[in-house]
Structure 1
Amino acid sequence: MFQLSMGEARVRDLLAALSEQIDRELPGAIELRHELHRLPELSGAEARTRDRVLDALPAELARTSVADTGAVLRIGGPGRSVAVRAELDGLAVTERTELPWASTRPGVMHACGHDVHLAALVALCRAAHAVDVPVPLVGILQPREETYPSGARDIAESGVLTEHQVRATIGAHVQPLLPDGTVACVPGAVNASCDEFTITVRGSGGHAAYPQLTRDPVLGLTQVVVAAQSLVSRRMDPMATAVLSVTTLDAGAAPNVTPDIATARGTIRAMNETARQQLHAELAELVERVAEAHGCAGELAVHGGEPVLHNDPRITEGTARYLRAQDITVDEVLRSAGSDDFAYFSACYPSLMMFVGTHGGSERLHSATFAPDDEHIRQVARAMLAGYLGAASTLGMDG
């Protein structure tokens, strides 16, 4: 870390100048949001979205392609920088908002607010360019947030952020669980790790009328699923937040045939690495033993995903100060077993993920009717601004 060198008075002046400039940028940002919302693209196919966002930024800004359909751009001179992320991808959801700028692509929608995040980042980047910020700001246009392989992981491992001397990363995500005008800015673990798993139970199939001649993998699998629900409640420390959910079952093709194989898929989430690894081990043992008790063989395959997302306490504290300076209510409680691949950035750099309240008419995340008001572009941009200043002042990166 670096010694604090950006004085408080200077930061406050910069906050006021950038906030005023963001307001000037809002009309263009709103138009951009509407255009992006009309033409969403799925994970891994966001090239047009990336190019349209880059077109909305000053042409002289340095930019680099990364992670296939992503980009990184820089505002400011050489030296250590703060990165701010927005996501490019939409979701495989058919929109039902009836907005005049609703998606024109059947089966694809910005149902997670990424269009709002992108418009907010553009407003912030344009404001930072106009004001000539003393600490460089690196904008991350990240692909593949909604699927694997993770775009954040690819960017973090690419070395591009190292080339830009990034010393902190900032993110902000709309959140209908919070009221309008509130931003959650919470230190420590705020999003869970997320791993997917597949359980396979192998038996010996045959005619369903002769169960004594088979070893039924369906029965074995269902008992595994029931038993797995006891892992969090009876094998984990009750103070360690964790979730194990079985979400799909697949077995057989005919009602009168006992199949050879039955499978289940699901997700494991945990708020610390110890609980995460314990659940992996406990589930693997349970699958094997319960399947064996029913004359079958069971195996578990875990497909690792995002780590726990940790917010840096010092950046969190500094950012909360600049949120309040903009008359934004700060929530210091919200944590979620949801996950975000921003966690790959937080594993490499001091980081902060904020949650910007949208409650007041919008539906839940990933809903076909999720449509935050355009006003939330301004709120997300101001949260990103507070995070940028909180990191720059806390890590003392000017000069």
Structure 2
Amino acid sequence: MNNRPPSMHDGAQGEPASNGCESTQLRNQFLETVFLIAAGLRKREELFAANPRRYPYCNELRLGIQRFAALHAQHAEDNQALRNLLDGLSESSFIRTWCTRDLSTWIEQWTPAAREELGNLECLELGPFAEVGGSFFNITEDCLEFLWINGNGSTDDLHENRVYSTLRDAGQAAYVFGRKFLILHPTLSWEERTAAAHANLAALEIDQLDQGETARVDGAWVQELIDTAYERVPLGLKVCPVCGWTMSLHGLRPMCLDARCTAHVDAEEYKTLPDVPPNSYRLRRGVMRFIAKPGILELQIARKVQAFGLPFELWPHLDTCDILITLPGGHTIAVDAKDHHDIDRLVRSIESDDMRDAMAASEAIYVVPADTPPPRRRAANRRLAHKPGYSIKTLRELTQHLKTEMGDA
């Protein structure tokens, strides 16, 4: 269960997509570019406030300017538009020339086709991101609003929120299909991505947990989800043996996005891992970290429940809980998977949670990783004694609990 705020391609081969796919790519590229610029402005202001005597170098702002220059060069309508850009590519000039203007004016010299593709972006209604006075500038409320809506912290947050918005806006069936698709496919080969982008889902591995949502999903929406969630894999990476994402070698240390993935992989074992096939795609880091990686445990639970032959729903009511299980006799269990070991934080969140009431469930169970120390689980459940019907268990304990309840039914 998740509560979220509202909400360059360099391959040798062409994209396996239509104009709609290209439109999604341009929107994603533009949003990420604007996010980098906004985040860079905020960081630059913070650095200057901390030490006014030191020039506030900011990599995010530089990268954002570079990406905007690339997009501007690609979509500018004429040479005069390019000359206007080249006059203001330094950080200071860019802030004065571009960041003090309404966001809609950033693309007013682009081609009609590009402007039409970006025309429905809400961010284009925002005003300037900076106010300049003399040799100083201040970021505006519009800049802060854009950052807050799109993640506030990093591009990982931006990508996570963009994907969650894409999932939620499409309705329950698409939400379930999309969440499962991302969890089951941390990487996609060129052929898999081509098949999925053209809604040829039969060419992919069969989803054993499908409950009819695949047949109801819109092919154009699948294409949009893939464009939003995935990126081209850099060359030379390995397949992570734990989560299925990508792993790289930093010095003598294998690295994935989760330290738990690399805890038992040394440099020698890394050499034996399979290479990621050329021209493959992977989930963007924020999507893998906050959506797909925690979802591995969610689907493990679903498979256990399915093996018992029990009715279940995945992410009912757009993720009010992760799984709703119905036992014989009508006893229902709302399950939420927590892929972390911070039991204290989990207990505090449960104390203010209403998942059981929201799902009208008989009980609510929070499933934690198997290696969570038993003494900490027992202590946590004692702290929850004042909240009947709420408990913390491992997957093994949940399995035993289901067996017991089925025997009593």
Q: With structure 1 as the length reference, what TM-score do the two structures score? A: 0.22
Q: With structure 2 as the length reference, what TM-score do the two structures score? A: 0.22
Which of the pair is proportionally richer in helix?
2
Which of the pair is proportionally richer in strand?
1
